[in-house]
Amino acid sequence: MKNILQHFNKIKDNRSNQGKRYKLGSILALVSIGYMAGCDSLLKTHIFWQRMTKTNRQRLGFTNSMPSHPTITQTLKRIDPEEFEAVLSQLVACQLDQNFIQIAIDGKSIRSTSDSTKGLLHLVSAFAPEVGAVLIQSKSGLGGGEIVTAEKLITNLDIKNKVITGDALYAQEVLSNKIVSRSGDYVFKVKRNKKKIIDDIKQGFEHYSNNNLEIDSYEYTFKGHGRIESRKIEAIESHRKYFGGWAMEYYQTSSYYHQ
């Protein structure tokens, strides 16, 4: 409890002093614990709070009474969402084994918000699959807004010696440069309609072929969806002069499959 309160007490309290009965950190810790316990709404978390023991309430900073459902709702409306996300990220990070390698970036729309007057809520998250934890997430616009949001997430994460992965949407020069500048690596898919990127990749492989340099390759066969597929992956060391403005310092792959 103490650790959670130490993190949430960092968040700026924008409430007026008049009528303020409960500490902001205590309320935010209460909400977070409710959701971690499996509650998927403030109403369910309120029922969860009512069942808490007196000892646990006191450990959260509630000595006499507990905040009402409307009090919780109004309090949450007054905090900065980005500041709250940042503190949650710090709280998660301090509980994790930091030896994981992969960070997967992806954007998802929250279907339950489709009827909202503010429109569909779209979030971009950074997920560490090796430890099963969302490191940080942030609201974004649809389409191109994901790239801007992903760049912001990268800025707020320690990605040194980590490998950032994502689908073809994130194969953007600005994002790749940001990752490399922060001592990270990346692996992104590239669609064939990205002609400039594809040409840069081909140029790198042609350079190796023309100069009799070694191209690492790996082939494997597997069964799936009622068919047998064979795939070959070829990899070379990447370098700026082979790939134009792309700041690739991990490796680039070229792959194909046939039935």
pLDDT digits (tens, 9 = 90+) for 215-243: 888 887 877 777 777 777 788 776 554 44
The pLDDT assigned to 98 comes to 83
The pLDDT assigned to 126 comes to 92
What's the chain's average pLDDT? 80
Give the separation between CA 49 and CA 258, rounded to whole angstroms.
56
Q: Which of 19-28, 52-61, 98-107, 239-248 has the weakest average pLDDT? A: 239-248
The pLDDT assigned to 105 comes to 94
164 — pLDDT class (breaks 50, 70, 90): very high
Residue 128 has pLDDT above 50, yes or no: yes
Q: Which of 105-109, 117-121, 192-196 has the weakest average pLDDT? A: 117-121
pLDDT digits (tens, 9 = 90+) for 69-78: 888 888 888 8
The pLDDT assigned to 144 comes to 65
Portion of the chain with pLDDT greater than 90, in percent:
8
